[in-house]
Amino acid sequence: MNIKRYWWLLPLIPLSCTREYVEDLRGVCFERDVLPIFQSNCTQSGCHNSQDREAGYDFTTYDKIVSHGIEPGNYKASKVYEAIVAPFGEEAMPQAPYTRLPDEQISTIALWIDEGAKNTTCPDSGTCNTTDVAFSTSVTPILQQYCNGCHAGSSPQGNVNYNTYNGVKATVTNGKLLASIQHAAGALAMPQNGNKLSTCNISIIKAWIDAGAPNN
Amino acid sequence: MNKVLYILSLLLLGVSAWAQPGKTDDLLSLLDEQVSTSHVTNAFKSPRVINSHSMEMLSAGTLDFRILHRFGDISQGAYEFFGLDQASMRLGLDYGITPNLMVGIGRSTNKKELDGFAKYRILWQSSGGQHNIPVSLVWVSGMTINGLKDPIGIAEVPNTFVRRLAYYHELIIGRKFNERFSVQITPTIVHRNFVVNRLVPNELYVVGFGGRAKFSKRVAFVWDYAYLINRFPTNLMSNPLSLGFDIETGGHVFQLHFSNSVGMNERAYIVDENTNWAKGEIRFGFNLSRVFQIVKQDIY
């Protein structure tokens, strides 16, 4: 075999090898990034809210979350982390019929514990962009963070199914989406057990609805 | 200098002179042994088990055109035609340079990823005669390039070329026990140049397990599993597991299988978040392999 014939294989030799990660410049913001995950996925009725306190866990406020099962600075030793990564069994959370949290949300919780599980609030970016509002880039992220813990997945609650655009559109048409997040009289205040959405998030959803709730 | 050469040639002459008598003595028996030593072939039907590389190689001068498909979740039901409405694919070309060296490239829909690899057989399982080797050892090294316009998606982090790259290296230790049964174990390392946060390891250590049970001349049952040792977040149910059938028809090999993995190159099927087998989140997929002999084979 004549080695010279195979010079074109050279590019297969590693060009460059680095070890980098995305640095979290601002740190994890508890109020914006972590609290909604707990409220949306863990505080359903019968679970870890202030009334039921299932197994002694209450995930509705910062003080109650860190009082139990969180070891600041050591996510691997934290019971809460163990439960959300457990593959099966009674310890695995969220329990059926709810499904495992996405990797991204598990990472956020682990990073927050690793940074000391602090009650961080994030500085308001100051601008609220309600001009270029699109379903996929503006509305879906809000729904995912605040609503889909209950209203998506394999068993959406209260006949509100945000797995698809059509499910969202249905609650726009019957007016329930806006009434619930604005805490209007006569409507079920949403998110349940959680804080009201920020003024900015509400105005983004409102701007999208006013534009005809397009699937864009 | 001359002195050194003189001594060297003396030494060599001595060695060859010393080696001569033995050689002539059992020349005949050596011939016998060489005839009876045979390499073990067809441990698997193609150079892949399902997703992972197998201990098989392409023969020299052979081009393998591979068309791979993975579909959506079967559980989506009849409206999505049990996932078949959502196809993702990889087109690949593999080429055997020598009996022990092959290279390949491929392009996947998933992340618009380009991948390339080189595969070298260090040891070839053989039986009979002097060279009785119980296992085949095959080394695979490859790299992948994420081709998305904006793979990172964070305005403050520039998308440099280096950040799109990932590498993988694996050592396949495989044995064909008999005509019907072959297994292999594959220690693997996957390196990503860039990960999403500091808790995610750049190097992922993985052990792959693959095997084949052949139950007729043309059909075999195959399985392919990878255990991820240091994945973050830990997710046992996300480890890629594929079960399927190899069907051989002349120059084609069809591999039909059910799997929880979406990706079709080493980085994608190992690293990316896969669905949960236990919850029935499985998908159908097939590999189609067509082999062309493009360079006339020399006699080795």
**Bigger pLDDT: B29 or A163?**
A163
Continuous segment of H or E residues that includes residue B205 = strand B203-214
Residue B79 — pLDDT band, cuts 50, 70, 90? confident
A174 reaches B (C-beta below 8 A): no
Query: Which of A6, A20, A87 has the CB atom closest to B236's CB atom?
Result: A87
Taking the C-alpha atoms of B4, B6, B7 and B10 in order, what is their torsion angle to the nearest 10 degrees? 150
Mean of pLDDT values over A169-178: 88
Give this complex's ipTM.
0.70
Measured in angstroms, the CA of B287 and the nearest CA of chain A are apart by: 24
A10 reaches B (C-beta below 8 A): no
pLDDT at residue number B284: 94
User: Mean pLDDT in chain A?
Assistant: 82
pLDDT at residue number B268: 93
Distance from C-alpha of B185 to C-alpha of A148, rounded to nearest angstrom: 40
pLDDT at residue number B146: 93
User: Mean pLDDT in chain B?
Assistant: 86
Tell me the per-residue pLDDT of B239-286, one tens digit each, with 9 for 90 and over.
999 999 999 988 789 999 999 998 999 999 999 888 888 778 899 999
pLDDT at residue number B20: 47
Lowest mean pLDDT among A9-23, A110-124, B110-124: A9-23
Q: Which three-class secondary structure state does DSSP give residue A201?
A: helix
Measured in angstroms, the CA of A17 and the nearest CA of chain B are apart by: 6
Structure tokens at B168: 């993988």
Measured in angstroms, the CA of A158 and the nearest CA of chain B are apart by: 21
Tell me the per-residue pLDDT of B29-77, one tens digit each, with 9 for 90 and over.
555 545 567 888 889 989 999 999 999 999 999 999 999 999 998 888 8
pLDDT at residue number A124: 62
Interface test with B, best of A6, A9, A20 (most B CBs within 10 A): A20
Residue A197 — pLDDT band, cuts 50, 70, 90? confident
pLDDT at residue number B285: 94
The runs of H, that is alpha helices, within chain B are 2-25, 27-36, 266-271
Interface test with A, best of B103, B199, B276 (most A CBs within 10 A): B199
CB contacts of B60 in chain A (<8 Å) are none
* Contact (CB<8Å) A100/B162: no
B112 reaches A (C-beta below 8 A): no
Residue B17 — pLDDT band, cuts 50, 70, 90? very low
Mean of pLDDT values over A193-215: 85
> Cβ distance B139 to B132 under 8 Å?
no
> Cβ distance B247 to B218 under 8 Å?
yes
| Overall residue count recorded for chain B in this entry | 300
CB contacts of B152 in chain A (<8 Å) are 22
Nearest CA-CA partner of B231 in B202, B256, B268: B202
Amino acid at B45: K
The Cα diameter of chain B in Å comes to 86
Angle at A139 between CA A157 and CA A158, to 5 degrees: 10
Sign (positive or negative) of CA dihedral A205, A207, A209, A211: negative
User: DSSP string spanning chain B?
Assistant: -HHHHHHHHHHHHHHHHHHHHHHHHTHHHHHHHHHH-EE---SSSSSBSSSSB-S--PPTTEEEEEEEEEEEEGGG-GGGGGGTTS-EEEEEEEEEEETTEEEEEEEESGGG-EEEEEEEEEE--EESSS--B--EEEEEEEEEE---SSSS--TTS---SGGGEEEEEEEEEEEEEETTEEEEEEEEEEEESEESSTTS-SEEEEEEEEEEEE-SSSEEEEEEEEEESS-SS--GGGS-EEEEEEEEETTEEEEEEEES----SHHHHHHSPP--GGGT--EEEEEEEEEEE-SPPPP-
Tell me the per-residue pLDDT of A136-148, one tens digit each, with 9 for 90 and over.
888 888 888 788 8
pLDDT at B19 over 70: no
Measured in angstroms, the CA of A156 and the nearest CA of chain B are apart by: 15
* Contact (CB<8Å) B162/A18: yes
pLDDT at residue number B6: 53
CB contacts of B193 in chain A (<8 Å) are 16-20
pLDDT at residue number B22: 46
Query: Which of A6, A23, A110 has the CB atom closest to B233's CB atom?
Result: A110
Q: Is B151 exposed, middle or buried (0-12, 13-18, 19+ CB in 10 A)?
A: middle
pLDDT at residue number B35: 57
**Can you give the pTM of this predicted structure?**
0.76
pLDDT at residue number B298: 59
CB contacts of B98 in chain A (<8 Å) are 1
Mean of pLDDT values over A154-171: 84
Interface test with B, best of A18, A24, A125 (most B CBs within 10 A): A18
Q: Which three-class secondary structure state does DSSP give residue B121?
A: strand
Distance from C-alpha of A42 to C-alpha of A55, rounded to nearest angstrom: 12
Mean of pLDDT values over A112-117: 88
Residue B108 — pLDDT band, cuts 50, 70, 90? very high
Lowest mean pLDDT among A71-80, A199-208, B12-21: B12-21
What is the number of H-type helices and E-type strands within chain B?
Answer: 3, 15
Sign (positive or negative) of CA dihedral A82, A84, A86, A89: positive
Residue A30 — pLDDT band, cuts 50, 70, 90? confident
CA separation, residue B75 to residues A159, B84, B279 (Å): 20, 11, 10
pLDDT at residue number A69: 84
Mean of pLDDT values over A70-94: 86
* Contact (CB<8Å) B141/A110: no
Quickly count: other Cβ atoms within 10 Å of residue A114's Cβ: 19
* Portion of chain B with pLDDT greater than 70, in percent: 86
Which residues between 39 and 78 in chain B have a beta carbon less than 8 angstroms from any beta carbon of chain A? Answer: none
Tell me the per-residue pLDDT of B134-183, one tens digit each, with 9 for 90 and over.
999 999 999 999 999 888 877 778 888 888 999 999 999 999 999 999 99
* Contact (CB<8Å) B194/A21: yes
Distance from C-alpha of A88 to C-alpha of B236, rounded to nearest angstrom: 9
> Cβ distance A70 to A117 under 8 Å?
yes
pLDDT at residue number B2: 55
Taking the C-alpha atoms of A38, A96, A103 and B69 in order, what is their torsion angle to the nearest 10 degrees? -150
Distance from C-alpha of B36 to C-alpha of A42, rounded to nearest angstrom: 68
Query: Which of B157, B162, B202 has the CB atom closest to A16's CB atom?
Result: B162
Structure tokens at A42: 């863990």
